[in-house]
Chain A
Amino acid sequence: MLQTAFNGLVTGIIIALPSLAITLLFGVLKFPNFAVGAMMTVAAYMVYAVNVQLGWPLLPATAAVAVAFGLLCIAIDHVTFRPLRDRGGITLMVASLGLGFVLENVARFAYGNAARSFAIELARPFRFFDIRMNREQMTAMVVATLAMGLMYVLLTRMPVGRAMRAVADNPSLALVRGIDSASIIRWTWFITGVLLAVGGVLIGMDRALEPPMGTSYVIAVFSAAILGGLGSPLGAFVGALLIGLVSELATLVIPPNYRIGIPLCVIALVLIFRPQGIFGQMYIRR
């Protein structure tokens, strides 16, 4: 029971990163990016290439790829989403679906369907009271918490973060105040890319690297963001922890194969009873 709860917490903190990424992106660009899963997959494989094939240690490999992937996200936005920017949310959403197909299959084309793993030495799990925690879980907790803390500082203390929140809140007012929305969009994509790269690596460490690895998290990630309130960074974090806990604890009752049903039910319930989520605000879009 306690062990399951701990595992759930780890899962939750891992999906907090992509949840934060989509919620930031939704705040600024007003569309749900369905390519998050495939983006994490591609980033994880990029880290795999640097880590295993070039022989870098995992930490510098992740850092280098995170920056590179952030830049890649800006480039992707430039060719796919920017021309569609004023076509409305549905078009952007369908385009992100197409982008997801492309990215996931680029990874499949390059590395095949077989599961792979990073070059990390195996270590004996720690025991803390009755909870068994392995090295990967500890790393995931530390890295994700650190990333969340940095994001908090960025969003509340740094000019870029404040400008991002301003654009998310009221784009025309932000424009009047002299905020350059094009550069804010680039920053948002860069941060999204970094978060997704780190998230992808953590998922790859927790499970294994295979082409559908990221996509299988998409529903959990979205349900976390919706539960917290789409567009609210704090909500994404809290929502992710809750989703992780609840879906892991639910496996005590329901068959683990149907774990994905829990986030789905959460989405349905939230949409019916509290569409704005825990921390979100009702807004009228038009």
Chain B
Amino acid sequence: MIDFIILMGTVVCFSAILALALNFQWGLGGMVNFGLAGFYALGAYSCALLMLKGGFNTFFATLGAMGIVALVCGLVALVTLRVTEEDYFAIVTLGVGEMLRLVALNEDWLTKGALGLTGIPRPLGELIPAPVYLYFMLALSLVLVAACVWVLGRLSRSPFGRVVRAVREDDVVAATLGKNVLWARVRIFAIGGALIGLAGSLHAFYFQYIDPTQFSTIVIAYAFMAVIAGGRGAHVGTVAGAAAVMLLLEGSRFAKELVPGLESDQLAAVRIIIIGIGLIMLLIYRPHGFMREYRLQVPLKDSLGQARSQPPKEAPT
């Protein structure tokens, strides 16, 4: 049981990083990413291939995977050059994600196709004995999630973060104020991409085996659900959302014992149905999620120009 909890904790961490990436791209930047599963696969495959074929160590392979996904995402964001409607961009990401999945499935010489890649090394795999490794992996993932939350928190409070939100709210106004909207969008999407690459690398390290079926639509459903539940734009909320959704989903594993005669295909289908319905219900009944986005609050000043209450402080997020 304790192993199961540790396993869940680690998987929640990857998913949380993935959800944080989506939260940055969509929640803060307003750029919907329907190709998340494909980019996630790209991250995992890049990391694995850099180690297996390129001979890099785990650290540089992770950095490389982050760089590759960021680059691809940045290029994809360039299609918003002339069209700024989110709908069109969503279709493009959907298509690119599907293409990436097809490449993983069909380029046997590189990715071994449906067989998948095996024997992926782990960080410090030789130094740490196998029984303790689970704990190390969990700790590493937790540290990385915390680091991501911290970096994204800093980023969204920075001047760049304000540009990001301005572009989301109204790109015409942002452009009128002299902000380079296209460049901002490319950076938003690339930063999200780097995080997706990180999540993909962790996925590869943890499972040591990757194949195209691991990167199915449930990844997308899951990340969107986590972001919506957590509150668009709220980083801590997204992590909490990811954990909550994972509990809900993994809880449904036990439904198999409650309802006899349910096949595993059907169970998988039921889980996605639950996510889909949950997603729509959250959008309808709880559109802002359970946590608020960070807002800079400046207290009112009285006629003497002095702050009425405490000096400006950040709202709790």
Taken together as a complex, chains A and B put the C-alpha atoms of A222 and B273 apart, in Å, by 24
- Tell whether, in the assembled complex, residue B86 and residue A260 are in contact, meaning their CB atoms are under 8 Å apart: no
Taken together as a complex, chains A and B put the C-alpha atoms of A26 and B263 apart, in Å, by 38
- Tell whether, in the assembled complex, residue B273 and residue A275 are in contact, meaning their CB atoms are under 8 Å apart: no
Q: In the complex, what residues of B have CB within 8 A of residue A261's CB?
A: 99
- Tell whether, in the assembled complex, residue B95 and residue A32 are in contact, meaning their CB atoms are under 8 Å apart: no
Nearest A residue to B272, CB-CB: A105
- Tell whether, in the assembled complex, residue A264 and residue B283 are in contact, meaning their CB atoms are under 8 Å apart: no
Interface of A is mostly: helix
Taken together as a complex, chains A and B put the C-alpha atoms of A255 and B102 apart, in Å, by 11
CB of B3 within 8 A of chain A?
Answer: no
Asked whether A258 and B102 contact (CB < 8 A) given A94-B279, A218-B94, the answer is yes
- Tell whether, in the assembled complex, residue B83 and residue A109 are in contact, meaning their CB atoms are under 8 Å apart: no
Q: In the complex, what residues of A have CB within 8 A of residue B45's CB?
A: none
- Tell whether, in the assembled complex, residue B279 and residue A98 are in contact, meaning their CB atoms are under 8 Å apart: yes
Q: In the complex, what residues of A have CB within 8 A of residue B277's CB?
A: 98, 102
A contact residues, range:
35 or more
Interface of B is mostly: helix
Taken together as a complex, chains A and B put the C-alpha atoms of A83 and B276 apart, in Å, by 16
Taken together as a complex, chains A and B put the C-alpha atoms of A130 and B5 apart, in Å, by 64
| Nearest chain A CB to B29 CB, angstrom units | 12
Q: In the complex, what residues of A have CB within 8 A of residue B228's CB?
A: 94
CB of A194 within 8 A of chain B?
Answer: no
| Nearest chain B CB to A101 CB, angstrom units | 4
- Tell whether, in the assembled complex, residue B82 and residue A272 are in contact, meaning their CB atoms are under 8 Å apart: yes
Tell me which residues from 114 to 142 in chain B have a Cβ below 8 Å from any Cβ of chain A.
Answer: none
- Tell whether, in the assembled complex, residue A97 and residue B275 are in contact, meaning their CB atoms are under 8 Å apart: no
Interchain CB contact (< 8 A) of B283 among A94, A218, A260, A263: A94
CB of A99 within 8 A of chain B?
Answer: yes
- Tell whether, in the assembled complex, residue B280 and residue A95 are in contact, meaning their CB atoms are under 8 Å apart: yes
- Tell whether, in the assembled complex, residue A101 and residue B217 are in contact, meaning their CB atoms are under 8 Å apart: yes
| Contact pattern, A 265-286, Cβ under 8 Å of B = 1, otherwise 0 | 0011001100100000000010
- Tell whether, in the assembled complex, residue B92 and residue A105 are in contact, meaning their CB atoms are under 8 Å apart: no
For B32, B86, B283, which residue has the most chain A Cβ atoms within 10 angstroms? Answer: B283
Taken together as a complex, chains A and B put the C-alpha atoms of A226 and B79 apart, in Å, by 14
CB of A68 within 8 A of chain B?
Answer: no
CB of A219 within 8 A of chain B?
Answer: yes
Q: In the complex, what residues of B have CB within 8 A of residue A32's CB?
A: 87, 90-91
Taken together as a complex, chains A and B put the C-alpha atoms of A91 and B95 apart, in Å, by 20
- Tell whether, in the assembled complex, residue B270 and residue A109 are in contact, meaning their CB atoms are under 8 Å apart: yes
- Tell whether, in the assembled complex, residue A267 and residue B92 are in contact, meaning their CB atoms are under 8 Å apart: yes
Taken together as a complex, chains A and B put the C-alpha atoms of A80 and B285 apart, in Å, by 11
| Nearest chain B CB to A76 CB, angstrom units | 10
- Tell whether, in the assembled complex, residue B82 and residue A275 are in contact, meaning their CB atoms are under 8 Å apart: yes
CB of A112 within 8 A of chain B?
Answer: yes
- Tell whether, in the assembled complex, residue A112 and residue B88 are in contact, meaning their CB atoms are under 8 Å apart: no
Taken together as a complex, chains A and B put the C-alpha atoms of A257 and B103 apart, in Å, by 9
CB of A93 within 8 A of chain B?
Answer: yes
List 6 tightest A-B contacts by C-beta distance, closest first. A102-B276, A101-B276, A98-B279, A264-B95, A105-B269, A109-B269
A105-B272, A267-B91 are known; give 12 further A-B pairs, CB within 8 A: A32-B87, A34-B90, A97-B221, A99-B276, A102-B280, A106-B269, A108-B265, A108-B266, A222-B91, A257-B105, A258-B99, A271-B83
Chain B residues within 8 Å of A, Cβ to Cβ? 30, 32, 34, 79-83, 85-88, 90-92, 94-96, 98-99, 102, 105-106, 217, 220-221, 224, 228, 263, 265-266, 268-270, 272-273, 275-277, 279-280, 283-284, 287
Chain A residues within 8 Å of B, Cβ to Cβ? 26, 31-32, 34, 80, 83-84, 87, 89-91, 93-95, 97-102, 104-106, 108-109, 112-113, 218-219, 222-223, 226, 230, 255, 257-258, 260-261, 263-264, 267-268, 271-272, 275, 285
